[in-house]
């Protein structure tokens, strides 16, 4: 698993913390220079985000470094917080209580135990097959038929997005990688999270700088074509430039990064559509400047399973 003596990991970590340090310095300079109230607010929000990035990077870095189990526990916790935010947002009633207990306290831990023990077969069908059948079954036994289909579907969808999809990120540690890459699977996870998050940040930055044409104004007023092309292109280039941290060649890494950035973009858009549907701004208030956990990992929910399966298929 992750090992601090691995020069590749050292360079990645050095790069990330270097970038954060740079961001922090720039943020402090901008804070001094900001004059108008609008500019001050933007800079304050940016600095708050950078601080949160520090915390998130340290937590993620420590988890990857200390090995597989720590990463699995971290993603299980992320799933837990994400599912809690998702369920909070939908209208569940007393009739859903037992089904929710199953989702939170049986399906979620079981999914991550399967990652930990490396049981790929059951890992890939636990939620799409067994939870899919058990949850409507429990709801039917409880007998509340009001909005039955909507309640079944939303609980199942929450599990699929917040638990099943996210669990594909630590499941990268299970992949049967080429012999010369063995022992470095954690780097693959690192690379995925880095590309997805950079793609998000860069789409935001390009959108702020050059954004004119909105992609889906009713869903997400800040997603623009300029931000999309700038962010996805840069994330693809960075992903390709970091090919040495992956089992891929430079071109393959570029293709993978492009795929991951596109899937992540769709994920962000879909999760934003749900927020609009429910009439909220953020999924939660856990991470200052970012909203909830689900606001931060929305792109990863789509990118992780796609990346996992494409990698599994080709390598």
Q: Which spans of this chain sit near another protein (rule: CB under 8 A)?
A: 80, 84-85, 87-88, 92-94, 97, 100-101, 104-105, 204, 207, 218-223, 268, 272, 276, 279-282, 284-285, 290-291, 295-296
The pair of structure tokens assigned to 77 is 């916790």
Q: Which C-beta is closer to another protein: that of 21 or that of 216?
A: 216
Q: Which C-beta is closer to another protein: that of 103 or that of 186?
A: 103
Closest CA to 155 of 93, 112, 206, 198: 93
Q: Which C-beta is closer to another protein: that of 176 or that of 285?
A: 285
What is the spatial distance between Cα 93 and Cα 91, in angstroms, rounded to a whole number?
7
Where do we find the tokens 């060649």? 249
Q: Which residues of 33-59 are buried (b: 16+ CB within 10 A; e: fewer)?
A: eeeeeeeeeebeebbebbbbbeebbee
CB of 81 to another protein, least distance (A): 8
Q: Which C-beta is closer to another protein: that of 104 or that of 130?
A: 104
| Contact status, residue 82 vs residue 294, Cβ threshold 8 Å | yes
CB of 183 to another protein, least distance (A): 36
Q: Which C-beta is closer to another protein: that of 8 or that of 280?
A: 280
Phi, psi of 68 (to 5 degrees): -60, -50
Q: Which C-beta is closer to another protein: that of 184 or that of 223?
A: 223
CB of 203 to another protein, least distance (A): 9
What is the spatial distance between Cα 141 and Cα 189, in angstroms, rounded to a whole number?
41
Question: Which residues neighbour 122 within 8 Å (Cβ) at sequence distance 6 or greater?
Answer: 114
- Inter-helix orientation angle 225-241/185-210, to 10°: 150
CB of 233 to another protein, least distance (A): 19
What is the spatial distance between Cα 307 and Cα 185, in angstroms, rounded to a whole number?
13
Where do we find the tokens 């950079």? 198
CB of 25 to another protein, least distance (A): 24
CB of 228 to another protein, least distance (A): 12
CB of 38 to another protein, least distance (A): 12
CB atoms within 10 A of CB 277: 11
CB atoms within 10 A of CB 285: 11
Q: Which C-beta is closer to another protein: that of 51 or that of 175?
A: 51
Q: Which C-beta is closer to another protein: that of 7 or that of 94?
A: 94
CB of 235 to another protein, least distance (A): 16
Closest CA to 208 of 30, 18, 6: 30
């Amino acid at each position: 698993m992750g090992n601090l003596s691995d020069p590749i990991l050292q360079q990645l970590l050095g790069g990330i913390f270097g970038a954060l340090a740079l961001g922090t310095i720039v943020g402090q300079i901008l804070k001094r220079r900001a004059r108008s109230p609008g500019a001050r607010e933007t800079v304050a929000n940016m600095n708050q985000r950078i601080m949160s990035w520090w915390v998130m990077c340290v937590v993620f870095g420590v988890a990857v470094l200390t090995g597989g189990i720590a990463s699995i526990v971290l993603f299980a916790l992320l799933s837990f917080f994400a599912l809690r935010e998702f369920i909070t947002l939908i209208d569940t009633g007393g009739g859903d209580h037992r089904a929710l207990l199953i989702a939170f306290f049986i399906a979620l831990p079981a999914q991550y135990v399967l990652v930990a023990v490396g049981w790929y077969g059951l890992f890939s069908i636990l939620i799409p097959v067994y939870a899919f059948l058990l949850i409507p079954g429990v709801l039917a036994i409880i007998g509340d038929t009001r909005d039955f289909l909507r309640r079944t579907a939303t609980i199942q969808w929450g599990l699929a997005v917040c638990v099943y999809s996210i669990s594909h990120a630590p499941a990268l540690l299970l992949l049967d990688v080429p012999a010369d890459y063995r022992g470095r699977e954690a780097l693959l996870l690192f690379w995925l999270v880095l590309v997805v998050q950079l793609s998000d940040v860069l789409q935001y930055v390009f959108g702020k700088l050059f954004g004119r044409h909105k992609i889906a104004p009713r869903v997400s007023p800040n997603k623009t074509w300029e931000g999309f092309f700038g962010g996805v292109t840069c994330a693809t280039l960075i992903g390709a430039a970091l090919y040495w941290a992956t089992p891929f060649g430079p071109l393959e890494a570029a293709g993978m990064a492009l795929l991951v950035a596109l899937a992540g973009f769709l994920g962000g858009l879909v999760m934003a559509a749900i927020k609009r549907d429910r009439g909220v701004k953020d999924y939660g208030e856990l991470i200052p400047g970012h909203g909830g956990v689900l606001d931060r990992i929305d792109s990863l929910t789509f990118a992780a399973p796609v990346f996992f399966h494409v990698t599994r298929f080709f390598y």
